[in-house]
Amino acid sequence: MSTLRTPLGQRLITAFIGIPILFGLLWYNGPLLILTIAAVFCLSLWEFRKLFLPKLWASYAFAGVMLIGFYSLFKICYGEDVFLRAIVLFAVVFGSDTFAFVFGKNLKGPKIAPKISPNKTWSGLLGAVIAPVIVLHLAFSPDNIIIFTLFAGLLGVIGQAGDFLESYLKRQAGVKDSGTLLPGHGGILDRIDALLVISPLMLIFYTYVI
Protein backbone atom coordinates (compact mmCIF):
# COMPACT_ATOMS: atom_id res chain seq x y z
CA MET A 1 0.00 0.00 0.00
CA SER A 2 1.25 3.46 -0.88
CA THR A 3 2.31 5.52 2.14
CA LEU A 4 0.10 8.37 0.94
CA ARG A 5 -2.96 6.11 1.20
CA THR A 6 -2.38 5.26 4.85
CA PRO A 7 -4.11 7.32 7.61
CA LEU A 8 -0.76 8.92 8.48
CA GLY A 9 -0.09 9.77 4.84
CA GLN A 10 -3.52 11.35 4.48
CA ARG A 11 -2.93 13.34 7.67
CA LEU A 12 0.36 14.64 6.26
CA ILE A 13 -1.27 15.65 2.97
CA THR A 14 -4.07 17.47 4.81
CA ALA A 15 -1.50 19.26 6.99
CA PHE A 16 0.68 20.13 3.97
CA ILE A 17 -2.29 21.84 2.31
CA GLY A 18 -3.97 23.26 5.40
CA ILE A 19 -1.07 24.78 7.35
CA PRO A 20 -0.01 27.33 4.66
CA ILE A 21 -3.66 28.35 4.22
CA LEU A 22 -4.01 28.80 7.98
CA PHE A 23 -0.83 30.89 8.18
CA GLY A 24 -2.05 33.09 5.32
CA LEU A 25 -5.45 33.68 6.90
CA LEU A 26 -3.94 34.56 10.27
CA TRP A 27 -1.27 36.80 8.74
CA TYR A 28 -3.63 38.91 6.60
CA ASN A 29 -6.29 38.87 9.32
CA GLY A 30 -9.13 40.34 7.30
CA PRO A 31 -12.69 39.59 6.22
CA LEU A 32 -11.61 36.28 4.70
CA LEU A 33 -10.58 35.06 8.16
CA ILE A 34 -14.01 35.97 9.55
CA LEU A 35 -15.71 34.17 6.66
CA THR A 36 -13.51 31.12 7.20
CA ILE A 37 -14.31 30.92 10.92
CA ALA A 38 -18.01 31.36 10.10
CA ALA A 39 -17.82 28.64 7.44
CA VAL A 40 -16.08 26.22 9.81
CA PHE A 41 -18.71 27.00 12.45
CA CYS A 42 -21.53 26.23 9.99
CA LEU A 43 -19.87 23.01 8.84
CA SER A 44 -19.39 22.00 12.47
CA LEU A 45 -23.09 22.57 13.16
CA TRP A 46 -23.93 20.49 10.09
CA GLU A 47 -21.80 17.63 11.41
CA PHE A 48 -23.12 18.04 14.94
CA ARG A 49 -26.66 17.30 13.79
CA LYS A 50 -25.62 13.62 13.45
CA LEU A 51 -24.23 13.55 16.99
CA PHE A 52 -26.98 15.43 18.81
CA LEU A 53 -29.18 13.16 20.91
CA PRO A 54 -31.86 15.16 22.80
CA LYS A 55 -31.90 12.83 25.81
CA LEU A 56 -28.11 12.77 26.21
CA TRP A 57 -26.49 15.34 28.54
CA ALA A 58 -23.22 15.17 26.59
CA SER A 59 -24.97 16.59 23.52
CA TYR A 60 -25.78 19.81 25.37
CA ALA A 61 -22.32 19.91 26.96
CA PHE A 62 -20.69 19.68 23.54
CA ALA A 63 -23.04 22.30 22.12
CA GLY A 64 -21.85 24.65 24.87
CA VAL A 65 -18.24 23.75 24.12
CA MET A 66 -18.79 24.65 20.47
CA LEU A 67 -20.36 28.04 21.19
CA ILE A 68 -17.79 29.11 23.80
CA GLY A 69 -14.94 27.59 21.80
CA PHE A 70 -15.74 29.40 18.56
CA TYR A 71 -16.24 32.69 20.42
CA SER A 72 -12.84 32.29 22.10
CA LEU A 73 -11.21 31.27 18.82
CA PHE A 74 -12.51 34.42 17.12
CA LYS A 75 -11.34 36.65 19.98
CA ILE A 76 -7.83 35.15 19.85
CA CYS A 77 -7.40 35.09 16.07
CA TYR A 78 -9.01 38.30 14.88
CA GLY A 79 -7.70 41.80 15.60
CA GLU A 80 -4.47 43.76 15.69
CA ASP A 81 -1.17 42.16 16.76
CA VAL A 82 -2.68 38.73 17.36
CA PHE A 83 -0.67 36.66 14.87
CA LEU A 84 1.81 35.25 17.42
CA ARG A 85 -0.89 34.43 19.94
CA ALA A 86 -2.97 32.67 17.29
CA ILE A 87 0.03 30.68 16.09
CA VAL A 88 0.84 29.64 19.67
CA LEU A 89 -2.76 28.48 20.15
CA PHE A 90 -2.67 26.29 17.04
CA ALA A 91 0.83 25.03 17.89
CA VAL A 92 -0.42 23.97 21.33
CA VAL A 93 -3.46 22.18 19.93
CA PHE A 94 -1.93 20.51 16.89
CA GLY A 95 1.31 19.79 18.74
CA SER A 96 -0.65 18.10 21.50
CA ASP A 97 -2.63 16.02 18.99
CA THR A 98 0.53 15.06 17.11
CA PHE A 99 2.51 14.10 20.21
CA ALA A 100 -0.46 12.08 21.48
CA PHE A 101 -0.64 10.23 18.17
CA VAL A 102 3.12 9.54 18.01
CA PHE A 103 3.50 8.56 21.67
CA GLY A 104 0.41 6.36 21.61
CA LYS A 105 1.35 4.64 18.36
CA ASN A 106 4.95 3.91 19.37
CA LEU A 107 4.80 3.43 23.14
CA LYS A 108 1.33 1.90 23.21
CA GLY A 109 0.48 0.61 26.71
CA PRO A 110 -2.82 0.45 28.63
CA LYS A 111 -5.95 2.14 27.29
CA ILE A 112 -7.59 5.01 29.16
CA ALA A 113 -11.25 4.30 28.34
CA PRO A 114 -11.46 1.68 25.56
CA LYS A 115 -15.28 1.64 25.56
CA ILE A 116 -15.31 5.32 24.60
CA SER A 117 -12.13 5.73 22.56
CA PRO A 118 -10.33 2.42 21.95
CA ASN A 119 -7.15 4.01 20.58
CA LYS A 120 -6.48 6.43 23.44
CA THR A 121 -3.63 5.27 25.72
CA TRP A 122 -1.94 6.71 28.80
CA SER A 123 1.26 7.06 26.78
CA GLY A 124 -0.68 9.15 24.26
CA LEU A 125 -1.95 11.34 27.08
CA LEU A 126 1.64 11.85 28.19
CA GLY A 127 2.53 13.09 24.71
CA ALA A 128 -0.52 15.36 24.71
CA VAL A 129 0.69 16.94 27.97
CA ILE A 130 4.33 17.35 26.92
CA ALA A 131 3.66 19.28 23.70
CA PRO A 132 1.88 22.32 25.25
CA VAL A 133 4.60 22.56 27.90
CA ILE A 134 7.27 22.76 25.19
CA VAL A 135 5.31 25.23 23.04
CA LEU A 136 4.44 27.67 25.83
CA HIS A 137 7.95 27.62 27.30
CA LEU A 138 9.39 28.39 23.86
CA ALA A 139 6.89 31.21 23.27
CA PHE A 140 6.89 32.93 26.67
CA SER A 141 9.15 33.56 29.67
CA PRO A 142 7.05 32.86 32.78
CA ASP A 143 7.66 34.34 36.24
CA ASN A 144 6.42 31.24 38.03
CA ILE A 145 7.75 28.24 36.11
CA ILE A 146 5.91 25.63 38.19
CA ILE A 147 2.43 27.17 37.82
CA PHE A 148 3.10 27.94 34.17
CA THR A 149 4.17 24.35 33.48
CA LEU A 150 1.15 22.92 35.31
CA PHE A 151 -1.17 25.16 33.29
CA ALA A 152 0.49 24.11 30.03
CA GLY A 153 0.15 20.44 30.96
CA LEU A 154 -3.50 21.02 31.87
CA LEU A 155 -4.14 22.23 28.32
CA GLY A 156 -3.08 18.82 27.03
CA VAL A 157 -5.38 17.04 29.47
CA ILE A 158 -8.31 19.31 28.60
CA GLY A 159 -7.69 18.78 24.90
CA GLN A 160 -7.87 15.01 25.36
CA ALA A 161 -11.04 15.44 27.43
CA GLY A 162 -12.65 17.30 24.54
CA ASP A 163 -11.70 14.46 22.23
CA PHE A 164 -13.20 11.94 24.64
CA LEU A 165 -16.43 13.94 24.82
CA GLU A 166 -16.80 13.90 21.05
CA SER A 167 -15.85 10.20 20.92
CA TYR A 168 -18.56 9.45 23.48
CA LEU A 169 -21.14 11.26 21.35
CA LYS A 170 -20.04 9.37 18.25
CA ARG A 171 -20.34 6.07 20.12
CA GLN A 172 -23.83 6.91 21.28
CA ALA A 173 -24.85 8.08 17.80
CA GLY A 174 -23.33 5.00 16.16
CA VAL A 175 -20.94 6.84 13.82
CA LYS A 176 -17.18 6.43 13.38
CA ASP A 177 -16.37 10.01 12.32
CA SER A 178 -18.26 13.28 12.48
CA GLY A 179 -17.76 13.63 8.72
CA THR A 180 -15.50 12.87 5.76
CA LEU A 181 -14.33 16.33 4.73
CA LEU A 182 -10.70 15.98 5.93
CA PRO A 183 -8.83 12.90 4.63
CA GLY A 184 -7.08 11.04 7.43
CA HIS A 185 -8.94 13.02 10.09
CA GLY A 186 -12.64 12.46 9.40
CA GLY A 187 -14.81 15.52 9.79
CA ILE A 188 -14.26 19.09 10.95
CA LEU A 189 -15.23 18.27 14.54
CA ASP A 190 -12.80 15.35 14.59
CA ARG A 191 -10.02 17.84 13.92
CA ILE A 192 -11.08 20.78 16.09
CA ASP A 193 -12.62 19.16 19.18
CA ALA A 194 -9.47 19.84 21.20
CA LEU A 195 -9.18 23.35 19.72
CA LEU A 196 -12.67 24.20 20.96
CA VAL A 197 -11.96 23.23 24.58
CA ILE A 198 -8.45 24.70 24.70
CA SER A 199 -9.32 28.08 23.13
CA PRO A 200 -11.31 29.40 26.14
CA LEU A 201 -8.42 28.58 28.49
CA MET A 202 -5.94 30.25 26.17
CA LEU A 203 -8.19 33.32 25.92
CA ILE A 204 -8.17 33.59 29.71
CA PHE A 205 -4.40 33.07 29.68
CA TYR A 206 -3.86 35.84 27.11
CA THR A 207 -6.31 38.22 28.84
CA TYR A 208 -5.22 37.91 32.44
CA VAL A 209 -1.76 36.31 32.50
CA ILE A 210 0.35 37.46 29.56
Q: Mind listing the pLDDT tens digit for each residue in 161-184?
A: 999 999 999 999 999 889 877 766
pLDDT in tens, 46-60: 999 999 999 999 999
Query: Which residues lie across from 56 on neighbouring strands?
Result: none
- Among 121, 114, 97, 118, smallest CA distance to 196 is for 97
Contact 27, 158 (CB under 8 A): no
Write down the domain spans for the chain: 3-208
Residue 12 has pLDDT above 90, yes or no: no
